Structure formats: structure tokens, C-alpha cells
Amino acid sequence: MIRVDAPVISVGNIVAGGTGKSPVCRTIASHLLRAGNRPAIAMRGYRAGATGVSDEAAEYASLIPEVPIAVGADRVATIASLKDPPGSIVLDDGFQHRRVHRDLDIVLVDAVHSGLDRGMLPSGPRREPRSALRRADAVVVTRASKIDPVLAAEIERHHGRPPLAWTRHAWTGLTSHHRGVESARPVSDLNGRRVATAFGVGNPDSIRRSIEAAGGIIVHDVPVRDHAAYDADRVSSIAAVAEAAGAEAIVTTLKDWVKIGRHVDRIGAMPVLVPTLEIEFLAGKAGFFEAIDATIKRAASAAG
């Protein structure tokens, strides 16, 4: 492994698909920012365009513009190319990227679809054997509605320790885009509202459940693969099928909106609602941030 000139905190998983890496990385980066540490996020940038900007990178830039993003498959090179040396690196989807030395290795396990009871790719969702959890310094459960003792025992069996923290994805509001005007709206705006959905993410079912939990009525779902591209014709088609289905709004993710919004003129009068997603801790919040702070402190001590 190659050591870079900053402590590295990796966030990854052992399954294909979404486990909430982006919001967890954002939570860590925001914490480091508040501590005055000047973090950067390093990521592969899956399906990045010619400019090197992937949808996740654009999402980060929208939500935490103060944090530089290093995008590229060669993460050592992209970290080295950052204009200002960062105080720390948050490695997005880094568990299988073993070239970069990490000072804290966090693995996320989705409480709804953990993958621990399924097979390896291609027959199942797991990228690695369950025993790979032993390499992790900590396991954090995401999308939990409660602390599940069965899942906790399963994680402890393969990881060697119980989960460090239990979290859920919490919607703290909506951003409405309507006729070129952006406005903040409460999640309660979904209650009783007929919506169409378009989710180019790894785990769209959890978003649909959140819409329904908020009282939204899904009248049409536009099938979109993970990391999908959106051209003008596709955006026009989404707006047309939403209107034909009797939808009053389209709900999509910020990851999708950074691409859909480039063709906002094709949406017409249909409002687009983008949930604001944050990580909420059910248990282990103090231990989670203590682990991050201790990692930075150890690195500073080692640097002399």
C-alpha cells in the first residue's frame, strides 16, 4: 500500500449497489471541516464524463463545495494532483481499493439488504466473501429502522466485533425545481401528492419506501439504471410519461438532478422534487466520531 501525505479514512462496502457511501462520506467530511481539518474526497468517479466529473462528484460539489474532490481510477495520482495539500482524505468506495494505505477502514452494511445471506457476484450481490469484514476497522449499519440483534450477531461473527454504529437515511427537506425557480420545501409536501419517480441509484426501493412513508402516492416509476445518463430527449420523455400518469411532480435524487437539471427546459411545468438526505444515528454516534478524531490525532502525532 502507498501512503499519501494525509490521514486516509476509507468508506466502502462488500456488496454491489448502494449502501449510503456518499452521505456517510459527506458526514465525515463535514465533521472534519468543522474541526478545521481541510478534508478532500477521493473517488474513482464511475462513468465520469470527458470533464472528469461523475454524478457523485457533482453531488458532492453541490452539497459541500468547500471540500475538494479528487476523481480518477488512480487515486494516488489524483490525490497528489490536488492544488492545495489536504489535511485528510475521505476515500469514497475504498474497501476494495487496496493500493492506498488507509488509517481508518469503515465498511457499511445495509440493514435492509445486507448481502451477508447472499452469494458472490454474479449469482449474488457480494463483491467479497463475508470474511473480508475482518479487514475493516469498523462496520457501520445504514438504512436501519432499529437495532437488529440478529444482524448485529451476523456482523460480529464475520467482523469479530459488533457494529460501531447504527444509522438511518433521514430526509430533512425537499428542494423544489419549478419553471427555473428553486425553493426549499418540507417533506410534508409529499403527503397526498401523486408523483412519478426516476432513480438512477443502486438501491431505489429504499427511496420509494421513504416517499410512501411521507404520504406520497407513486403513480409511475421510470426505470433508470444506476449512473444513468440523461440527454434532452430522455428528460422530455420522463416529463411526458409523468404527466400522462397524472403525476403532480417528479421525485428524483440529487445524483440524478445534477444531470437532469442540464435539460431543465425540457421539463415544462412539472415540478421536480429532490429530497435532502442526511445520516441520522440511532446508536453509536459518539463512538463513530471518536474513531475519526482519534485517527486524525494519531496521524498528527506520527507526523511529529
pLDDT value of position 304: 60
Strands 181-185 and 88-92, bridge-based pairing: unpaired
Q: Please give the C-alpha separations between residue 246 and each of 196, 208, 242, in angstroms, as whole numbers.
A: 9, 18, 7
Is it the case that residue 226 has pLDDT exceeding 90?
Answer: no
Q: Helix (H, G, I), strand (E, B), or coil: what is residue 161?
A: coil
Choose the most confident range, by mean pLDDT, from 159-168, 230-239, 257-266: 159-168
Give the angle subtended at the CA of 297 by the CAs of 295 and 301, to the nearest 5°: 120
State whether CATH 3.40.50.720 applies to domain 8-164+284-302: no
Fold matches, 8-164+284-302 and 171-277: yes
Q: What is the pLDDT of residues 18-62, one digit of tens each?
A: 788 999 999 999 999 999 999 999 998 765 444 445 678 888 988
Grid coordinates of 153: 450477531
pLDDT value of position 52: 47
* DSSP per-residue letters across 185-199: E-GGGGTT-EEEEE-
Q: What is the mean pLDDT of the chain?
A: 91
- Which CATH number is associated with domain 171-277? 3.40.50
**What residue spans define the domains of the chain?**
8-164+284-302, 171-277
Confidence of residue 96 (pLDDT cuts 50, 70, 90): confident
Mean per-residue pLDDT for 258-285? 93
Is it the case that residue 109 has pLDDT exceeding 80?
Answer: yes
Grid coordinates of 21: 457511501
Interatomic CA distance for residues 165 and 237, integer angstroms: 42
Counts of helices then strands in the chain (DSSP H, E): 8, 12
